[in-house]
Amino acid sequence: MSPDAHPALAHHFESLEKQAHAARLGMWLFLATEVLLFTALFAAYAVYRYLFHQTFADASRHIETWIGLVNTIVLVTSSFTVALGVHRATRGDGKGTALFFGLTVLLALVFLGFKAVEYSHHFQEGQLPGRYYTYGEVTGPGASLFFALYFLITGLHGIHVVIGMTVLTVIGIRSALGAFSAEYNVPVELAGLYWHLVDLIWIFVFPLIYLI
């Protein structure tokens, strides 16, 4: 490593480009593992929907579609703001990145707010699965399973929203402090990728749980 090498260049890479290539590849592989984590739940959903078709269809009529719809709009908008933030970073505008990442985090908070309202409705109506299930309008062996999968999928997604918010906050603050430049902004890009994945998973969750 020459003395005038970029400060972000790690000792075991020859160039920033190679390092960025490695980081991107690593992130995409990590995103693949994230997708597979959800895949198990989606597979379980598919199996039980097949086994208890009518019950699942009924149950999805008894959750609040409008909240799901609003949250979908909120998350898609947040993907747009995150993309703007990443775009700012490629111009070397750290403050702009921080602004748009901040907006994204606000939208994520709105999402979680709606989710909290939704969850509290489920609690009040006795839709917690298993032995806590007391909801009268959808009954039968598959009813509790629908809500078990509902809480597992949306809960795991919610955890990812929180992780994504944390990542965006940290990277946003570092951007504002001038840690990145037009030539080196891979962490900003990767944070953006992660947030897009969180949105993408929701794009699958929304129709599966709320619409069909």
Binding positions for another protein, rule: CB under 8 A: 10-14, 18, 21-22, 25-26, 29-30, 32-34, 36-37, 39-41, 43-44, 47-48, 51-52, 129-131, 140-142, 144-145, 148-149, 152
Q: Closest separation between CB of residue 52 and another protein, Å?
A: 7
Greatest Cα pair distance in the chain: 72
Closest CB to another protein among residues 56, 195: 56
Cβ neighbours of residue 46 closer than 8 Å, sequence gap 6 or more: none
Q: Closest separation between CB of residue 161 and another protein, Å?
A: 18
Closest CB to another protein among residues 30, 123: 30
Residue type, 72: T
Closest CB to another protein among residues 69, 132: 132
Q: Closest separation between CB of residue 49 and another protein, Å?
A: 12
**How far out from the chain centre does Cα 185 lie?**
21
Q: Closest separation between CB of residue 204 and another protein, Å?
A: 15
First-last CA distance in the chain: 57
Q: Within 10 Å of residue 94's Cβ, how many Cβ atoms?
A: 22
Closest CB to another protein among residues 111, 146: 146
Q: Indicate the helix (H) or strand (E) that contains 65.
A: helix 65-90
DSSP assignment of 179-195, as one string?
Answer: ---SS--HHHHHHHHHH
